[in-house]
Structure 1
Amino acid sequence: MAHEFEFGENWASIYEQFTSVRGRVAEAAETAAFLERYARGGSAFELGIGDGRVAVPLSERDVRVEGIDNSESMLKLLAKRTDQIKAWKEDIADFRSEQRYDLVYCVYSTFTLLFTRDAQVACLRCAAEALDSEGILVLELGVPALDGFIRGQRTSTLFVDHDNTILNSDVHDPLNQTLVSTLLWFSATSMTRTPHRTRYVYHQELDSMAECAGLELAERWGSWTRSAFTDSCKRHISVYRRKGLRSRRTFEGAEDG
């Protein structure tokens, strides 16, 4: 029996439909175009590869993509979608790779599914070790939105159409920066309850944790189309390199945009 908060095992049956209604399938091409700049036709490694929403279009841009996920169910979805991407089951907070990659990336706030600071720092260290000498790490995280809580609880509406109503209920633990969230999906014929737990991270803390892993911030954007990161953004795309290394891939990519 899957643990109550194991994201992949709980979400696999609805993941493709959920990411579609949330607009994430439609933006996968933009994500792949952004990431391609840093892989430059070389190799990329995805942390939490899931069903290949991003990995597949990136691989179609002549990038050799590999990845890991801790969910057998998600990896099965990927295998049904393509046999061109090597992926295996492993924990993104505790992995080793003999291969070194031009690009390591983790998208859609998958990083926050590691719900302790120690696990998040461990993930960054593993990612840094998997980079080649001029490799780049790209992380997509949501900006914590903590308004609307009453006595530590909040319920919000994520999506409504003629056939579906999707609600999200959060319980906030500010001392540990964690949210225990439950997605409630009501359709014409069924109701799905899907829990998960996350540890939110502000971008300043992320930079500090990256520094512990021997990385430094090179760029930060507000979207995959390279809009500026401002105080009104709901997410950020953060690009890291090894400390003290001015990577040509980073700055040439920025100038091209």
Structure 2
Amino acid sequence: MTENFVYDESVSSTYEKFTSLLGKVAEADETAAFLERLSKGVALELGIGNGRVAVPLSERGVKVEGIDNSDSMLKLLAKRTDLVKGWKGDIADFNSEQRYDLVYCVYGTFTLLSTREKQIACLRSAVEALEKNGHVVIEVRVPPLDGFVGSQKTTATFVDHENTFVNAVIHDPVNQTLTSTILWFSGTSVKRLPQRVRYVYHQELDTMAECVGLELAERWGDWTRGAFTNESKGHISVYRRNQLPVGDLPLKSS
């Protein structure tokens, strides 16, 4: 697996069905409603994909732009709408002349960045693209570390009358990575969906955010603003600029 994960043509062609089966398409309206509350009109999505969230958010009157490293996903976005501007780039290292009152990264896309340094760089780039009173929103999963035997785990993560998802995962605790392969059985066909994430706990995410001049404003367990508890499978963290003058914020290394 390459260091920088990219959704290629084989994955992007089935992405909408895959996310729909997992309930993520239905969840997009809840996500858009949550994000609309934080935006005064201009938002940037990091890892915009096919516009699953960006399109319903734009339909609420927010001007949405987005970055993605996958040509095939950006093509899907362009076919879906002309209201959302997407461009190819690296969410760990980007520059924008436009300033946004909301920068957001959802569905665990942040953890596809393979190192702590890249994750911090992503947050730093987000801050530099942010209006003075803007917000950064990050959605990540609580690391699913139960059930591993010898650093390996295989589970059936979804089953219906036609589809079965079997997920085989290897855990590297030293590097905080989960390398997984989902085998998607549908009828007589089998698709292989590989992925590697560098997981983060919410405390580490807060520390990284503080490093680039952000402070936690809100944290929720889901997009309907349910409480974040010990039982939560993920969280949505909302950050704002801290009170340091802009000149005192950490800058990108040259």
TM over 0.5: yes
SS in 2 for 1:38: coil
Alignment of 1:186-197 (within 5 A): 186-197=185-196
Q: Is the 8 A contact 1:55 1:65 kept in 2?
A: yes
Partners of 1:243 and 1:156 lie apart in 2 by 42
Partners of 2:155 and 2:243 lie apart in 1 by 43
Partners of 1:32 and 1:212 lie apart in 2 by 28
Partners of 1:155 and 1:30 lie apart in 2 by 31
* C-alpha RMSD over aligned residues: 1.3
TM-superposition CA deviations, 1:196-215 (whole Å, max 9, x none): 11000000000000011110
Shift of 1:11: 2.3
Partners of 1:69 and 1:158 lie apart in 2 by 27
Shift of 1:6: 2.8
Quick one: structure 1 residues 234 and 144, their matched pair in 2 at CA, closer, same or farther if it must change by over 3 Å? Answer: same
Partners of 2:2 and 2:130 lie apart in 1 by 31
Task: Provide structure 2 residue ranges, at least 5 long, that are not aligned to the other structure.
Answer: 245-254
Q: Is the 8 A contact 2:50 2:76 kept in 1?
A: yes
Partners of 1:219 and 1:5 lie apart in 2 by 30
Q: Which residue of 2 aligns with 1:8?
A: 7
Give the number of equivalent residue pairs.
243
Say if 2:130 is the partner of 1:131: yes
Quick one: structure 1 residues 226 and 143, their matched pair in 2 at CA, closer, same or farther if it must change by over 3 Å? Answer: same
Return 197-206 or 5-14, whichever deviates more: 5-14
Shift of 1:125: 0.2
Alignment of 1:104-143 (within 5 A): 104-143=103-142
Partners of 1:106 and 1:79 lie apart in 2 by 19
Q: Is the 8 A contact 2:3 2:114 kept in 1?
A: no
Q: Is the 8 A contact 2:36 2:62 kept in 1?
A: yes
| Letter of the 2:175 counterpart | N
| Letter of the 1:230 counterpart | T
Q: Hey, which bits of structure 1, 4+ residues long, moved more than 4 A?
A: 2-5
Q: Which residue of 1 aligns with 2:34?
A: 34
Partners of 1:153 and 1:138 lie apart in 2 by 31
Q: State the TM-score, normalizing by the size of structure 2.
A: 0.93
TM-superposition CA deviations, 1:15-36 (whole Å, max 9, x none): 1011101000001000000000
Alignment of 1:20-169 (within 5 A): 20-40=20-40, 42-169=41-168
Q: Which residue of 2 aligns with 1:242?
A: 241
TM-superposition CA deviations, 1:120-179 (whole Å, max 9, x none): 000000001010010100011100110111111101111111111111111110000001
Shift of 1:3: 4.5
| Letter of the 1:35 counterpart | L
Shift of 1:4: 8.6
| Letter of the 1:34 counterpart | F
Q: Is the 8 A contact 2:215 2:242 kept in 1?
A: yes
SS in 1 for 2:7: helix
TM-superposition CA deviations, 1:31-54 (whole Å, max 9, x none): 0000000113x1000000000000
Identity of aligned residues (%): 68
Q: Which residue of 2 aligns with 1:210?
A: 209
Quick one: structure 1 residues 14 and 191, their matched pair in 2 at CA, closer, same or farther if it must change by over 3 Å? Answer: same
Q: Which residue of 1 aligns with 2:250?
A: none
| Letter of the 2:145 counterpart | L
Q: State the TM-score, normalizing by the size of structure 1.
A: 0.92
SS in 1 for 2:16: helix
Shift of 1:7: 3.7
TM-superposition CA deviations, 1:66-105 (whole Å, max 9, x none): 0000000110110111111111000000100000001000
Partners of 1:74 and 1:127 lie apart in 2 by 21
Q: Which residue of 2 aligns with 1:250?
A: none
